[in-house]
Amino acid sequence: MITKILIANRGEIACRIIRTARKMGIATVAVYSEADASALHVEMADEAVLIGPAQASESYLKGDVILDAAKRTGADAIHPGYGFLSENPGFVDQVEKAGLIFIGPSAKAIRAMGLKDAAKALMEKANVPVVPGYHGEAQELVVLAGKANEIGFPVLIKARAGGGGKGMRKVDNQADFPAALSSARREAKASFGDERVLVEKYVTTPRHIEIQVFGDSHGNAVHLFERDCSAQRRHQKVIEEAPAPGMPEDMRAAMGAAAVQAAKAINYAGAGTVEFIVDASDGLKADRFWFMEMNTRLQVEHPVTEVITGLDLVEWQIRVAAGETLPLTQDQLSINGHAVEARIYAEDAGKGFLPAVGRLMHLQFPDGDIRVDAGVRAGDEITPFYDPMIAKMIAHGQTRAEALGKLAGALGRTEIAGTVTNTAFLVKLCRDADFAAPRLDTGLIERNIESLTAVAPAPDHIIALATVAASGMVFDHRGAVDVAGAIGPFEIWGMPKRWVPLEINGEIRRFEIERAGARDWRVTGDALAAGRIDLEAVSVHGHDWAFSAGGVARRCRLVNAEDSVTVFYQGLTHGFGKPRGKRDDDIGGGGDQIASAMPGIVKQVLVEAGQMVKSGEALVIMEAMKMEMTLSAPRDGIVAEVLVAVGAQVADGVRLVTLQAEAEAA
């Protein structure tokens, strides 16, 4: 019997495991890095142990330090969550050697499926259909390029270790292969410590459908049906759902049987996911799916399976690890309705989904029939050290349309201030005509990227309200200006006016605000389409603001922070900066400045001062939150200065390289 579990993870999944352990009466131990000292999972656990600095390589990836924490706290089992050490067979060996229970599969099973090339060879022997490709040991460019040519373009280069879209590149022709291979290898090395790759045929109308499997140590194995994860960007899942839309029963049975066969081939015990690529060019057919890989852990998207089956997969993991048989047999499992999950990230969809950082000054999820799995709360900080996930939101309905409608509505009512998020993008995806139809494949988001990431401009009355909020006034509960708060920003006598700067989409704009009455304001500025907006009957109750504009009474939620104003209005989030002391030339670098577009680490500097560069030429390669980004020259020119070195940790907007002014270069 397991009595105390140490969770070798952080964030949302650590909190998720703690909730189930608490329900089962099992004590929990959290581990945390210096960056996570005040994290939610630390607060929730019965005990917590500091394991090192912020960098994962010095904390969450230190197996010996984590084992020491387990021994000191008397834990008898370790749950790895997902990511970090969850699929590290060496860590499993260490855990078992220490006399502890690893809540997951055996080291042997992880090794069998841990490298994509070896796993595919094993699956071929087990008669599980496999994607055509090259999975051999030779890694020379000439060999891989030759195999790609034999397979036929387009092909997919994939890191043989790891997942999550890291070390993966689609290549459309032979000429692009060397550069894509080099980039994939760098990313694979940084993410998994292994730069070796395999090459596969790229299915042109692919759907990503995976099967949740579960095995026990008594030889039993079942599948808990499928999940469709085709809504992806950069090979990373965005919205997952169960069951797969349009799945015929014969194909569900065939895929389920193949997944169970794969699990039994390695005597699998615990939760696992067998991922298949499906050719959806002619609908879903039972002979059009191929094995891609097996994830030997719990998946991020496991909640949709829990919702449609009514089961707790973490509880199943714990029971199986304790030596129990599977709680149910295959014929006792069934599907109830439809579930959809969206991953809420601190990222800027309009800037290529660049990860963002910041303190969550305000965080509120909607009430109602919605599940939210979060690992943060208001006041927590999204740092550059870890995955920028804020929460997972899961909706359930008797039909797919009902579930999607609930999810879109809940996302629109979600309030997050302090960092940019992808909630508006997720709402648009839920309501996208192709996604709703469903006309699904993994290229759907890329095809519709412009409409999905288009930023809706703030209405004039919201810009005007944000300007009033940013002016420094203090309101009483009726919305009238507190006289004490008015000193400085406004004159007490006469008709008060003031110029107020506001940062909108990176550009500083100036507005004149004029007090027209106790609760009435006039805002003028060329950034307003109408030139002037009158706000009447303004009232404030905490974050709730009410006002009238153009004869229409309106309500919104507004968070007024030291350096920003965030307005939640009609399902959209509008963010404005308060440019206190910021000069106009601090906004953007212009054509002569190459600045970091995200906080991260400089991995490569490819130029030096005095060097001639062409427009589009790579200058600096950065990495943040497991993502690699190349910064290129905005024009032809000569490098004036290189301001960073390899290994430097830089913030968003820091200038990295400058070019000589065009007149100087001439």
Radius of gyration of the chain from Cα atoms? 27
Question: In sequence order, what DSSP letters do the residues of 592-614 get, joined into one string?
Answer: TEEE-SSSEEEEEE---TT-EE-
The rounded distance, in Å, linking the Cα atoms of 11 and 518 is 46
The catalytic residue among 169, 297, 519, 522 is 297
Closest CA to 122 of 278, 294, 295, 298: 294
Q: What ranges make up the beta strands (E) of 280-418?
A: 289-295, 338-345, 347-348, 354-355, 358-359, 362-364, 371-374, 381-382, 389-397, 415-417
Sign of CA dihedral 165, 209, 255, 212: positive
Q: What single-letter amino acid sits at 306?
A: E
Q: Which two tokens stand for residue 45?
A: 């656990």
Which tokens is 397 given? 């309905």
Structure tokens at 448: 């519709």
Report residue 416: phi and psi, to 5°.
-135, 120
Strand ranges for 216-262 from DSSP E: 221-233, 236-242
From the list 73, 53, 66, the residue with the least C-alpha distance to 92 is 66
Q: Kindly state the tokens that stand for 317.
A: 């993991």
Residues 602/650, Cβ–Cβ less than 8 Å: yes
- What angle separates helix 400-412 from helix 423-431, to the nearest 10 degrees? 150
Could you tell me the two tokens for 646? 């390899």
Q: Order of strands, edge to edge, in the sheet holding 289-295?
A: 289-295, 270-279, 206-215, 221-233, 236-242, 338-345, 389-397, 371-374
Backbone angles phi, psi at 11, to 5 degrees: 65, -150
Whole-angstrom distance, CA of residue 620 vs CA of residue 445: 28
Q: Is there a catalytic annotation at residue 297?
A: yes
Active-site residues, by number, are 297
